[in-house]
Amino acid sequence: MDTKDKIVLFAEELALINSPTIREFADWAVGVLPDYFFTVAASSSGKYHPPYALGNGGLLRHTQAAVRLANTLLTTRTFGDQYTIGQKDAIKVALILHDGLKHGDPMQKHTVKNHPMLIRGYIERKLMEDGFSEASPCPLTMVQREAIYSLIESHMGQWNSADGEKMPKPVTDAQKFIHLCDYLASRKSLDFNFDA
Q: Where in the chain are the domains? A: 3-185
The dihedral through the CA atoms of 27, 28, 30, 31 has a sign that is positive
The dihedral through the CA atoms of 45, 69, 71, 181 has a sign that is negative
Give the pLDDT of residue 196.
Answer: 82
Mean pLDDT by 10 residues, the chain (196 residues): 96 97 97 98 83 94 97 97 97 98 95 94 95 84 96 89 77 97 93 88
Give the pLDDT of residue 79.
Answer: 95
Give the pLDDT of residue 85.
Answer: 96
Give the pLDDT of residue 162.
Answer: 62
Q: Which residues contact 142 (CB under 8 A, 6 or more apart)?
A: none
